[in-house]
A and B are shown apart, each in its own frame.
Chain A
Amino acid sequence: MDYKEIKHLLDLYLEGNTNLSEEENLRLFFKSTKELPPEWESFRSFFGYYDQAKLERYPQEITKRKSLFRPWMAAASLVAIVLSLQFYSSSLNALSTDQMDAQIAFDQFKDNMKKVSSRLNKGAKQVSYLDYWNETTQKLIK
């Protein structure tokens, strides 16, 4: 095909007036021709993209993975459950040393907080003078 013919087909193409076989010819032309007038480079990109897009396939089904579950796993998990139940029930009975420590620390904390709160209000009396001072300064400003 000569360039004049291609030019004519491209004009028809842009008007939506080419049929499928004419479009196929254009496709082949742009695929096989290396040297193109610069104003036709865009057509090559478009036809190239369309060709590539047509190659896309639905992904192959993934072969089913073998089951990871084995009979011995059932036995192992049963043993694990029994052991953990035993451990849990034994831990309910007595306070562990950690828990004892925590209890002692909490009691001390409580005592300290009581002392602090009993002395808290002494300071509050001093603070009330501030209000008085505020009022007088307000008057001065006015």
Chain B
Amino acid sequence: MQLIADQQFLDQIQAMRDKIFRITKRMLVSQEEAEDATQDVIVKLWSLGSEKRDRYKSMEAYTVTMAKNYCLDRLKSKQAQVLSFDDSIRVPKTLSLQKEIELTDELNWVTQLIDQLPEKEKMIIQLREIEHYDFDQIATILEIPEGTVRVYLSRIRKKLRKQFLEIQNHGL
């Protein structure tokens, strides 16, 4: 019995691993950190044991929530570290600071625009536009009401489009 459950878990995880990786990379930006995060999340899931895992209605939503919380913790402790060194180091990452970076094509603009979004907005874009989760699932993962997800999403889509058009018209 245990073996079958383990095998099931492995199959599920195999399917989820790329998603976890993409989501953690969106949040943490660094490739290496995202790889570590993916491994850690899988180990955490594994250590829950099959009975506990089965109790969750949607293993997928649960896993993504776990990945999200992992990243938020990670970012928080990183920020705290930097703060303890020197407050002035923390310069907000804005587009104007990235002006020097050569933007070769429009996909790069989009990458930059999404990279400079706040964590929560990045997460919403990742979950909806890239992982194609429905509003209900996103609401569960982010622990906010469904209506709020829609409002956020609308705001982000408009904002990104506006910024994109500004770049297109005036250059960076």
Interface of A with B (CB < 8 Å)?
A: 13-17, 19-20, 23-24, 41-43, 45-46, 48-50, 52-54, 56-59
Contacts of B168 in A (CB 8 A): 41-42
Max chain A C-beta neighbours (<10 A), residue from B21, B130, B151: B130
If A14-B157, A53-B130 touch, whether A59 touches B35 (CB-CB below 8 Å) is yes
Closest to B151 in A: A16
Interface residues on B, range: 20 to 34
- B18 at the A interface (CB under 8 A): yes
| Least CB distance, B24 to chain A, in whole angstroms | 10
Asked whether, in the complex, the Cβ of A16 is within 8 Å of the Cβ of B21, the reply is no
| Least CB distance, B84 to chain A, in whole angstroms | 32
Closest to B134 in A: A20
- B109 at the A interface (CB under 8 A): yes
Complex formed: what's the CA distance from A15 to B147 in Å?
12
Asked whether, in the complex, the Cβ of B164 is within 8 Å of the Cβ of A42, the reply is yes
Question: Can you show 18 pairs from A to B with CB atoms below 8 A apart?
Answer: A14-B157, A16-B150, A16-B157, A19-B134, A42-B165, A45-B109, A45-B110, A46-B160, A46-B161, A48-B107, A49-B107, A49-B114, A53-B22, A54-B22, A56-B18, A56-B25, A58-B21, A59-B31
Contacts of A49 in B (CB 8 A): 107, 110-111, 114
Contacts of A53 in B (CB 8 A): 22, 130
| Least CB distance, B152 to chain A, in whole angstroms | 8
| Least CB distance, A68 to chain B, in whole angstroms | 24
| Least CB distance, B138 to chain A, in whole angstroms | 11
Contacts of A13 in B (CB 8 A): 157
Asked whether, in the complex, the Cβ of A45 is within 8 Å of the Cβ of B132, the reply is no
Contacts of A54 in B (CB 8 A): 22, 130-131
Complex formed: what's the CA distance from A23 to B151 in Å?
17
Complex formed: what's the CA distance from A45 to B157 in Å?
13
| Least CB distance, B146 to chain A, in whole angstroms | 11
Asked whether, in the complex, the Cβ of A52 is within 8 Å of the Cβ of B107, the reply is yes
| Least CB distance, B74 to chain A, in whole angstroms | 18
- B153 at the A interface (CB under 8 A): yes
| Least CB distance, B20 to chain A, in whole angstroms | 8
Asked whether, in the complex, the Cβ of B161 is within 8 Å of the Cβ of A42, the reply is yes
Complex formed: what's the CA distance from A72 to B25 in Å?
44
Complex formed: what's the CA distance from A16 to B154 in Å?
4
